[in-house]
Structure 1
């Protein structure tokens, strides 16, 4: 059985992952978040729930013990949290990390959509880029994800690009990002060292359709 720690478990993408994990007997799941009440509407039967802040090293270390995979879906001071997470994983000899950042951190989004994206969120991206750089400089078996603009559609379709390829598409459903994450949890050897852009096929345009 593989032990999985979800850090930031109340996040919108993580909630879909938790739903996908229900009844999966091959994955033993620990949910780490600041307020367990935020999961009250989800079926977390047989999942361990730990309340704590990512920057609380002692609490995170406790949750990290015995884990095989860490999936982090965080908001806030991304670079600060990434540093604590990497250091704690190193201390506990946990190697596999799945870490969600954002499209645009490498200025990899082309054309008019890239220009629009920079105007909308460019000022917020430096901490995401620093977090990704820190993880890539570590000795962890990481996969960094850069999803497009997120929707709440009931949709599992996704396509991927690498760090060195122009980003494709403008949007993707959170549920589809969760579906891709599940492929990594079920096959931890997949996309190790990958820096993956995620979008829905056929959504190219000057900006997301919902904007």
Structure 2
């Protein structure tokens, strides 16, 4: 695996991914909104760069071979941030990857693919995620979309269940999502979506089977 740009590196999944990548010696670059966030990554020995999904971020992609997008505006933000980060920011990241000659793009998305089936307060976020996913899937990039279940802070088991059924419900630890993303980036799987839940199958085995 070449160097992976982690967009949303200071989020809960992003931090776990960077920790695991550093432990495995996998080269990553953390894209951060603010230089004040860099201390955590400096301690890990992870390269970091300041970039803004709603502004300048072109330089963050240079020299990378893959992108992990795990950024999100969060349910508490207004519609303006949802549009700028979850929709326009994600689409711009796809465009920047193409312009930088990057082929591999892994998107951490949401389990719900039908916004009308989600909670009303989350519907604008779900619309943005659905549109951004579709934009990535329509690109010529080597893409993977991860659709994790209800996220928990439970310690990662290293074991998951994969499904193609978006109506599936269940939980998945953020540790396991990060581990699965790292495994997927190390494995040139065909373009596909994964509904990802905690389960009984070792992550490496699940990725290879996919």
Q: TM-score range by the shorter chain?
A: 0.7 to 0.9
Confirm whether residue 160 of structure 1 aligns to residue 158 of structure 2.
Answer: no
* Corresponding position of 2:105: 97
Gaps spanning 5+ residues in structure 2: where?
74-84, 201-210
| Residue 50 to residue 42, structure 1, CA distance change in 2 (3 Å) | closer
Relative distance call for 1:41 and 1:92 in structure 2 (3 A) is closer
Paired residue for 2:70? 73
Residue-by-residue CA offset, 1:23-69 (whole Å, 9 max, x unaligned)? 433x2211101024335345644321101212334xx2211112111
Hey, which of these two has a bigger chunk of helix by percent?
Answer: 2
Q: Deviations over 1:58-97 (max 9, x none)?
A: xx22111121110011112311112111111111111100
Aligned-residue Cα RMSD (Å) equals 2.3
Corresponding position: 1:87 with 2:89: no
Partner of residue 139, structure 1:
140
**Distance (whole Å) between structure 2 residues aligned to residue 43 and residue 167 of structure 1:** 40
Instruction: State how 1:164-175 maps to structure 2 within 5 Å.
Output: 165-175=165-175
Residues of 2 paired with 1:119 and 1:54: CA distance?
25
8 Å CA contact 2:173, 2:198 repeated in 1: yes
Which is higher, the Rg of structure 1 or of structure 2? 1
Q: Closer, same or farther in 2 for the Cα pair 1:179/1:31, shift >3 Å? A: same
> Please, what TM-score do these two structures have when normalized by structure 1?
0.79
